Structure 1
Amino acid sequence: MKRTWKVHWIICAILPVLSVFGQNLNPRYHEVKRIFVYGDTLLLPSDVYAPSLVLRSNGVAADSCFKSSGQYVVFYFVCDSGEVEISYYTYPPDYLSLSQGLDRKLIQPKGAKRSDVQAMTLKTQNTGGLFDSDLAGISRTGAISRFVRAGSNQSPVLNSTLDLQLSGLLRDSTRIRASITDNRVPVQADGYSQQLREIDRIFIEISHPKRGKVTAGDYQIQNLGHYFLNFDRRITGFGLETTADISETMKVRASANAAASRGIFARNTFMGQEGNQGPYKLFGNNNELFIIIISGSERVYLDGMLLTRGQEYDYVMDYNTGEITFTALRPITRERRIVVEFQYTSLLYLRTIAYGELALESEKFQIELVHYDETDSRTQTLFQDLTEAEKQIIAQAGADFGRMRIPSAVQVEYSPDEVLYEKILQPGFGEIFVFSRDSTKGLYRVQFTFVGQGNGNYIPSNNTVNGRVFEWIPPENGRPQGSYEPIRQLLPPQSLSVSSARAAYNGGKFGTLELQSAFSRLNLNRFASGVASQEGFATRLTYGIDRKLGASRLQIGGFSDVMTADFRTVERVRQVEFQRDWSIADTALRGTQLLAGVHLRLTRDTLLNVFNEVSLLRQGDDFRLKYSGELHVNNQYVAINSRFSALKIQGPVLDGTFLRQLGDWSWKAGQRSSIGVRTDVESNLRSDTQQWIDGSYNFFQAEPYWRIYGNRGRNFELFALLRTDDTVYTGGIQRAAVSRGGGIKADWKFGKNADLGASVLYRHIRYDPITGQQDFAAYTGRVRLQQRWMKNALISNTLLETGTGTEPLRVFSYIEVPAGTGTHTWIDYNGNGIKELDEFEPARFPAEARFIRIFAPSSEFTRVEVSKISQSLLFNPVNMGQRWSGFRKFLTRFSLQSTLQTDNRRQLIRAVNTPVHLPGSGPDSLTLGSLILVRQTLFFDRTRSKFGWDANYLFNRSANLLAFGVEEVRSVEYPLNIRYKIIPPLLARLKLNYVNRETRSMNFVSRNFSFDEYLASPRIEFQPGEKYRTILSYEYSSKNSASALLSSHRLISEQYLASASRFVTTATIQYVVNSFTGDANSPLGFAMLEGLQPGQNFIVTLLAQRNLVNGLQLSLTYEGRLGSGLGILHSGVFQVKAFF
């Protein structure tokens, strides 16, 4: 509610400003709707822009199963489900209204004298909209809508949406940019939360080239010029930025921001697992499993290199579950160093941010003062309610977070919708919690917190209850065997402030000098008055000179910085791999640090680049000296890119050396090929006074390769791999593992008819017995092939992807949401009044959609091998048969379309994965997740309106790993669709279909069933003009299984009436008679009856839409159902929409 009022106040604030300007309407508006398709023809509203139409069925683009012609969508075959998602652009309601700049009376006859031609002034007619004034300089698009959903079995629900984009000039040089999105239906399924906090967006910016800019809403603030205060944050608030010229050569710049933080910065550092592409679970700063990552806020580094998000690039991120998966283009091995920096939503305290900057700039010098303050409110919490006693516990704990854990059990009254526990006495162990449904017992609501494997006494239990259940597991030899405890981890409000000053002087040929200093104050517990804040100081001095020496360039510089132990900043200060570069363990990065160094770089065009640096790091009594060098040579014979570093470590406890070399050495063999080798060598040896200590290692890696490159997108590389790893064992260095492998990388065009892209790696690692690990091998890669033959009459697209990864154990539950906004409905099959997991079904009607499915956080993963195949084939001989005649001409009336898509994940039990495996190719017990979609269609006269038919084969099989086992759904269909235009306004259709559906569940016996369906449906369509259409159809369906039998008769009448730009009305009446034998109150009965009742059923659907003046649109959707044994069920939605 607060969010909506904020939106309304902002709109009210800018309306008076915008009302004095003209309008510039964008003619298209985007719409996304979910509709139920009952027939094979869909009539679109009159304002749809047909070329923008996109359909999706089951989340997959279904562009190949329909054809749009004007206002009609004709389906070549029935999609996998009756529900499809339709996306399109619409014209504004007044798009047909007349708009002219000149009066027709001003047109002069041919040959008129120049003196008879009147002076004309161009005027633009205002067509009306939400803004009636002239907004000539501003382009705007979007709409605001309010809709009420009500029904006989639900309470009224009021929702609203807003989507507004503005861009243009207000007056003179003042420019506005705005994007406001507000959706009052913040629900989503298949995540950790039912709230999607990324829906609402407000951004308004008013700028002037000389006076600065004002920003309000959701935006980013960043500072990239300060070494000790480098950050990028997403905030919601208000910002002001301005500049002023003091003189011709000097100006002052100032900015201020006050906002609420949208997220908390976190950094996860971990090593990759051999052959595991993911997903990898990300954690919050306090090891929270339940985190929602702010989309687009992440930075992912692999071996220090920044990666790019996307399925076609390096990685994909699931923001709602906090999981990252690397694509096959980035093979992950045990040596890969992964760093993920991100921001995630805070659910504890309201966190405010204040950021200001003041700068004085001239040609020679710059002075900048920056202050950043981030504070948690002690009085305003978000999704937690702290009692005074809990606040006192936090205050007494000080900075010791371990003392902030409290018991989470709260005694409550019995509720069938909650997971409750009974407290019992376990001999020898004390009181424990046991799941209970006994309403006569004293029951507790218990929150279990993940504390790490081996640190808790509870584990998740496989249970059919709607909610996550934990069970107690006894310790062994006094050691806990679980990973959860019935406790709550309290967290205190904190604050951090950082002030930074920067002064830079540019002396031209004498070089540049820069000094930066920063001061920080961190309060770890704002409830604890006796805890002193941690204060730290840091300073950095740099100098550099850049001289041009003929065709060469010489750069010389140096730096020195000091950072105290208690200095803290918003994000990291050092480079991503600073600790590894200096061989510093995570626990050893403490104490005041002194870092200094000098460097020299010599470059000569693109032929030569030489870099040398000597630096030192001192921390207490620990002293480290490092030399770093780079050599880059590129001429007509060789190409060398090499980096080298040598680190010497001296300390009171240990000494050591760290040598590194990373290079790419190649020799050009002809104009289009080269032969080379990539090397990666490290030796990190650390010892105490007597022997090598743990953490010491050596490795050597070489990749010889042969590369072919050229123009027109032709690149090919064949490479081999050899790597040896040594580690410490019994005080000495011994061989630990040997890795061998090879692969190809290709991006090759075969003329104009074929494109090949490939990235494939095979790697086998053999471990020494001293490690206790098993040998492992993995194929990881992606191959893409596009082919075209016979003047594009035959087009083929192939995609293969293979690898290994993990499959998370999905533990889900269903929660109730406002009716019509969910995805599932609950049916109490056993009549006990308790919601159980096997009693939820996908909602067949929107009014019944009262529940959504959400996942519970889990850290349990199973190793799997992954194989994905995507193949599409389109054969349309009309392009190559334009000059054919006779029988060959007749053949061009046929066309074929075939698609195959598989995604198979099965448990990895061998030491090597199978590169390509189809679903069902192995034992069902190993399948943890699979998807196979097959669609084949043979068309005859596909584009002709007189007569045509299409024969189809559809196969769909999916299996998913859930907490209670693998659940599998399979369907096979053979639809045949025939159409014949009797006379121009009369069209006849016939649909014949055979369907076999099957479901299998490991734990729910009631969901193990299959049935066959035979369907015949004749249909008559009468359309005398564009404004009216009527459809009469009859459908007979026979379904049978081992325990049930259904004979169904369905009569359908559809009426459509429309006026080009005024109104659209669609009415559908269905009369269904179901003769059913079996248990209707069961999952099998629900699937066969499709959510209807045995006996007689009436379904009435009405859609009315009316376009009013000034860009207003009214719409009404009504659905009424009457079934045997049930009363009349009414549901409807009334919506008012205003276009900007």
Structure 2
Amino acid sequence: KVTEEDENGDSITYYRYSTDPERAFFALSFSQVGMGLGDYRRVNQLSNGTVFEFVPRINGRPQGDYSILTQLPTPDSRRMITAGTRIKLGEKESVYSEVALSSRDQNLFSNLDDEDNQGLAWKAGIKSEDREFSQFKGYKFKAQTEVEFNSSQFNFIDRFRYIEFDRDWGVNPEDLEIPASERFFWTQIGLEKDARNGFNYRVFLRNRAEQLDGSQHTANWNLELGRFLVKQEFFSLNSNKDTIQTDWKRYLGQLSYRSKILVPGYQYSVDRNAAELIERDSVISTAMNFREHLLFLRSNDTLSYAFSADAAWRTDRLPFSGRLQDNTEAFTSNFSFRKNWTNHQLQSTFTYRRLAFLQRDLPEELTVLGKVDYSGSLMKNLIRNEISYAIGNGRELQREFVFLPAPNGDGTHTWRDDNGDGIQQLNEFYLAINPEEKLYIKIFVPTDTYIQAYSTLLNYRLQAKFPDDWKESGGVKQFLQKFSNTSSLSVEKKVTSDDFLTRIDPFLGGVDRDQILSLRQILRTSFFFNRSSASYGFDLSLFDSQLKQLLSGGFEDQIQKDWKWNSRYQLNSVTTFRLLTGMGKRISASDFLENRNYTISQRMIGPELAWQPSPFVRATGTYSFSAKENLENEVFEEKASIHQVSFETRYAKAIKTTLTGNLRLIQINYNGEPNSPVGYEMLQALTNGTNITWTLNWLQKIGEGLQLNVVYEGR
């Protein structure tokens, strides 16, 4: 903390970065507030965080874009009341008016400046619609004129104008923060026959006190000539805002030909927006400035299938040295297809974009987006497939890493002052080998910089069975008919690789570890034998899950793989015997938490006996044995054996009352550390030794749409 004097002799206080433990007492948080609104700027990224420095003010004005001040939101209040009337002058014409009063208190904790909380607004207009003229046969005439006034303190509760309203006037959100009264006047006329034939024209005037004075002209013209369709849209804005003059011209023209099968067409669009300083006659900004040629070909909407393809060439402009110049050139192509057959459905979209930079020495950007969805059945619904595959680009927050001190022995890295300057640089930290050197941990932190991330998504589902009529065939066919399978695969991958094949491949083979952001992969498959029979049957299932993600401290992996065998046999009409066996692994790997690195191998077996004397009562007794071992422990054989006996009874009468009770006795023998992540997994969140758990559940229907559910659990 430093106190000095400025050029006027006034004392100023600011904070300066220091590595001296005798002087570094403050831990500050900085917020980006915009250039010219803060007193600090970002200068460096060191091992333990970002360094900011104080920038002296010039003529009392801040010169930085970061501040240590944090603005707290205050409780506020907004209210509005409106009243309106409409009077019909005849069959086609009417007049209307509306008045509104608003009240806004920005801080309910304070009474300061409450005298300007109220505002007034009103509008009035005349409207004519559905009037016909003999000169325009088949067309209907419509017209409307409206005038509106909003006082400087009037505030709407919700937006009621379209979202681009202020942008179309060249007004920024910051301009609206200054209260000002507004006057609007607009009038429009139109002739409409149907959706493909019509003309509309509107002129709009807006005055916002001394901040804005401008006019808009909007025109739309649609015309159908045989199989040709012409569509045109025009927009013009001319406004003055303080010392800035905004000129905006937009035009879209489209010509298409509707044949019985194809609809080819051409579209030309241009958008010229420029904000100029009146005194210098130079362009300082543009909201949008481009020219585009588009060729398209799509199917007629009367066909049983639908497709569309287009190719666009676009040039965007930006101001350089006060003049608008071509900045980028882009080629974009889109394709989509949709078709339904008797047993198959296919839908796809594809986008290809190539972007070249004309004013900056940057490499050409290539973007590919696509999605394919297919569902269908083969061999008379014996095999059903559902596939969804998608690729895409996205922007992710770029992550930086810092090294922070850790208690002795709990870190992962060590610092060597290679250049002898006493300052910790990122390239001076190494993975520690000796335990006494593990003094620092590596932490990943987000920044305000975005990087390109490429995602791939694959979902697949399969259902397969043998023909039902094989049930009566006898022999091998009758035996095979008892088998069926249900499988699903889900993969979601996100990488930063520049290799195109790596981006579109949903799997991780050959991908550099540093280019992986996240991976989620789940495989489920179940083979059933005699699934529909109540007498006997079995099923074999596999569950394979892999989750890999980049967290604040590094990578973390969670892998689960389970094989399960479930067989059942009906001893008599009221008793069923089951045998459940299984084996699997639980793998956890962490870059920053060593105690979360383990590989648990487990096996289990358990018989079950169910007795159901009536449709309302069912009792089940189960015994299971599980054996677990941590294969990562090289010091000793870390094992756990679990014996579990459970009894469950259930009473269910139609949909009115359901009572369920469960009692479990679990005996666990574990030779490891219970208070650890691997101990939590081995003990299944229980304790070493004898455990007893019980559950009671009562579900009661009280009335239509109303149920009572009471659950009691104990351990």
Q: Structure 1 residues 525 and 1055 mapped into 2: Cα distance closer, same or farther (>3 Å)?
A: closer
Q: Structure 1 residues 621 and 1101 mapped into 2: Cα distance closer, same or farther (>3 Å)?
A: closer
Instruction: Kindly provide the CA deviation profile for residues 160-188 of structure 1, in whole angstroms up to 9, marking residues without a partner as x.
Output: xxxxxxxxxxxxxxxxxxxxxxxxxxxxx
**1:1090 maps onto 2:672 in alignment:** no
From 366, 372, 382, the equivalent of 1:777 is 366
From 1041, 1066, 1069, the equivalent of 2:664 is 1069
Shift of 1:488: 5.5
Which residue matches 2:9?
none
Which residue matches 2:348?
758
Instruction: Give the conservation status (yes or no) of the 8 Å contact 1:1001–1:1007.
Output: yes
Instruction: Kindly provide the CA deviation profile for residues 613-647 of structure 1, in whole angstroms up to 9, marking residues without a partner as x.
Output: 22333343854333211012345412333311122
Q: Structure 1 residues 1089 and 452 mapped into 2: Cα distance closer, same or farther (>3 Å)?
A: farther
**1:502 maps onto 2:96 in alignment:** no
Which residue matches 1:739?
330
Which residue matches 1:852?
none
Please give the alpha-carbon distance, in whole angstroms, between the structure 2 residues aligned to 1:650 and 1:622.
Answer: 6
Query: Counterpart of 1:914 in 2: which secondary structure?
Result: helix
Q: Structure 1 residues 879 and 689 mapped into 2: Cα distance closer, same or farther (>3 Å)?
A: farther
Instruction: Give the conservation status (yes or no) of the 8 Å contact 2:604–2:624.
Output: no
Q: Structure 1 residues 639 and 966 mapped into 2: Cα distance closer, same or farther (>3 Å)?
A: farther
Amino acid at match of 1:533: D
More strand by share: 2
Please give the alpha-carbon distance, in whole angstroms, between the structure 2 residues aligned to 1:432 and 1:684.
Answer: 51
TM-score normalised to structure 1 length: 0.50
Q: Map 1:207-226 to 2 at 5 A.
A: none
Instruction: Give the conservation status (yes or no) of the 8 Å contact 1:458–1:471.
Output: no
Please give the alpha-carbon distance, in whole angstroms, between the structure 1 residues aligned to 2:541 and 2:671.
Answer: 30
Q: Map 1:849-868 to 2 at 5 A.
A: 863-868=452-457
From 357, 372, 384, the equivalent of 1:795 is 384
From 291, 299, 315, the equivalent of 1:708 is 299
Shift of 1:935: 0.8
**Superposition RMSD on alpha carbons, in Å?**
4.0
Instruction: Kindly provide the CA deviation profile for residues 510-569 of structure 1, in whole angstroms up to 9, marking residues without a partner as x.
Output: 622223344445444452446641554433232222212352201122222233444322
- Identify the structure with bigger relative contact order (alpha carbons < 8 Å, sequence gap 6+): 1
Q: Structure 1 residues 864 and 516 mapped into 2: Cα distance closer, same or farther (>3 Å)?
A: same
Please give the alpha-carbon distance, in whole angstroms, between the structure 2 residues aligned to 1:875 and 1:1055.
Answer: 34
Instruction: Give the conservation status (yes or no) of the 8 Å contact 1:723–1:739.
Output: yes
Amino acid at match of 1:560: V
From 605, 608, 630, the equivalent of 1:1019 is 608
Which residue matches 1:648?
238
Q: Structure 1 residues 585 and 1117 mapped into 2: Cα distance closer, same or farther (>3 Å)?
A: closer
Shift of 1:781: 3.2
From 299, 302, 311, the equivalent of 1:720 is 311
Please give the alpha-carbon distance, in whole angstroms, between the structure 1 residues aligned to 2:95 and 2:702.
Answer: 66
**1:543 maps onto 2:126 in alignment:** yes
Please give the alpha-carbon distance, in whole angstroms, between the structure 1 residues aligned to 2:235 and 2:612.
Answer: 80
Q: Structure 1 residues 1067 and 677 mapped into 2: Cα distance closer, same or farther (>3 Å)?
A: same
Amino acid at match of 1:625: S
Please give the alpha-carbon distance, in whole angstroms, between the structure 2 residues aligned to 1:784 and 1:711.
Answer: 23
Please give the alpha-carbon distance, in whole angstroms, between the structure 2 residues aligned to 1:429 and 1:482.
Answer: 29
Q: Structure 1 residues 490 and 889 mapped into 2: Cα distance closer, same or farther (>3 Å)?
A: closer
Q: Structure 1 residues 1020 and 862 mapped into 2: Cα distance closer, same or farther (>3 Å)?
A: farther
Instruction: Give the conservation status (yes or no) of the 8 Å contact 1:809–1:962.
Output: no
Q: Map 1:327-476 to 2 at 5 A.
A: 432-434=25-27, 450-452=31-33, 473-476=50-53
Please give the alpha-carbon distance, in whole angstroms, between the structure 1 residues aligned to 2:650 and 2:117.
Answer: 73
Shift of 1:1022: 4.1
Amino acid at match of 1:612: Y
Please give the alpha-carbon distance, in whole angstroms, between the structure 1 residues aligned to 2:541 and 2:699.
Answer: 39
Please give the alpha-carbon distance, in whole angstroms, between the structure 2 residues aligned to 1:693 and 1:1104.
Answer: 73
**1:511 maps onto 2:93 in alignment:** yes
Amino acid at match of 1:562: F
Q: Map 1:133-282 to 2 at 5 A.
A: none
Please give the alpha-carbon distance, in whole angstroms, between the structure 1 residues aligned to 2:393 and 2:205.
Answer: 42
Shift of 1:477: 6.7
Shift of 1:771: 4.3
Amino acid at match of 2:71: Q
Please give the alpha-carbon distance, in whole angstroms, between the structure 2 residues aligned to 1:493 and 1:508.
Answer: 49
Which residue matches 1:658?
248
Amino acid at match of 1:638: F
Please give the alpha-carbon distance, in whole angstroms, between the structure 2 residues aligned to 1:695 and 1:645.
Answer: 19
Please give the alpha-carbon distance, in whole angstroms, between the structure 1 residues aligned to 2:565 and 2:90.
Answer: 80
Instruction: Kindly provide the CA deviation profile for residues 449-496 of structure 1, in whole angstroms up to 9, marking residues without a partner as x.
Output: 84558959899xxxxxxxxxx9875434749999684x6634455444
Amino acid at match of 1:715: A
Which residue matches 2:289?
698
Q: Map 1:913-928 to 2 at 5 A.
A: 914-919=503-508, 922-928=511-517
Instruction: Give the conservation status (yes or no) of the 8 Å contact 1:865–1:913.
Output: no
**1:1081 maps onto 2:668 in alignment:** no
Shift of 1:955: 0.8
Please give the alpha-carbon distance, in whole angstroms, between the structure 2 residues aligned to 1:758 and 1:924.
Answer: 31
Which residue matches 2:142?
555
Q: Structure 1 residues 603 and 864 mapped into 2: Cα distance closer, same or farther (>3 Å)?
A: same
TM-score normalised to structure 2 length: 0.77
Q: Percent identity?
A: 17
Consecutive unaligned residues in structure 2, runs of 5 or more: 1-13, 57-62, 401-408, 411-444
Q: Structure 1 residues 1010 and 773 mapped into 2: Cα distance closer, same or farther (>3 Å)?
A: same
**1:631 maps onto 2:631 in alignment:** no
Query: Counterpart of 2:534 in 1: which secondary structure?
Result: coil
Aligned pairs, number: 630
Please give the alpha-carbon distance, in whole angstroms, between the structure 1 residues aligned to 2:241 and 2:65.
Answer: 40
Q: Structure 1 residues 885 and 649 mapped into 2: Cα distance closer, same or farther (>3 Å)?
A: same
Q: Structure 1 residues 663 and 891 mapped into 2: Cα distance closer, same or farther (>3 Å)?
A: farther
**1:946 maps onto 2:523 in alignment:** no
Which residue matches 2:5?
none
Please give the alpha-carbon distance, in whole angstroms, between the structure 2 residues aligned to 1:729 and 1:1028.
Answer: 81
Shift of 1:1028: 4.4
Instruction: Kindly provide the CA deviation profile for residues 69-102 of structure 1, in whole angstroms up to 9, marking residues without a partner as x.
Output: xxxxxxxxxxxxxxxxxxxxxxxxxxxxxxxxxx
Which residue matches 1:48?
none
Deviating 4+ runs (over 6 angstroms): 424-431, 456-459, 479-484, 808-811, 856-861, 910-913, 1106-1114
Q: Structure 1 residues 652 and 983 mapped into 2: Cα distance closer, same or farther (>3 Å)?
A: closer
From 970, 973, 994, the equivalent of 2:583 is 994
Amino acid at match of 1:1084: V
Which residue matches 2:595?
1006
From 608, 614, 617, the equivalent of 2:206 is 617
**1:569 maps onto 2:156 in alignment:** yes
Instruction: Kindly provide the CA deviation profile for residues 16-52 of structure 1, in whole angstroms up to 9, marking residues without a partner as x.
Output: xxxxxxxxxxxxxxxxxxxxxxxxxxxxxxxxxxxxx
**1:878 maps onto 2:460 in alignment:** no
Which residue matches 1:889?
478
Please give the alpha-carbon distance, in whole angstroms, between the structure 2 residues aligned to 1:1092 and 1:493.
Answer: 46
Please give the alpha-carbon distance, in whole angstroms, between the structure 2 residues aligned to 1:921 and 1:505.
Answer: 74
Which residue matches 2:357?
767
Query: Counterpart of 2:467 in 1: which secondary structure?
Result: helix
Q: Structure 1 residues 1020 and 672 mapped into 2: Cα distance closer, same or farther (>3 Å)?
A: same
Higher CA-based Rg? 2
Shift of 1:947: 2.4
Q: Structure 1 residues 666 and 921 mapped into 2: Cα distance closer, same or farther (>3 Å)?
A: farther
Shift of 1:788: 1.3
Please give the alpha-carbon distance, in whole angstroms, between the structure 1 residues aligned to 2:314 and 2:658.
Answer: 72
Shift of 1:934: 0.4
Q: Structure 1 residues 647 and 900 mapped into 2: Cα distance closer, same or farther (>3 Å)?
A: same
Instruction: Give the conservation status (yes or no) of the 8 Å contact 1:793–1:880.
Output: no
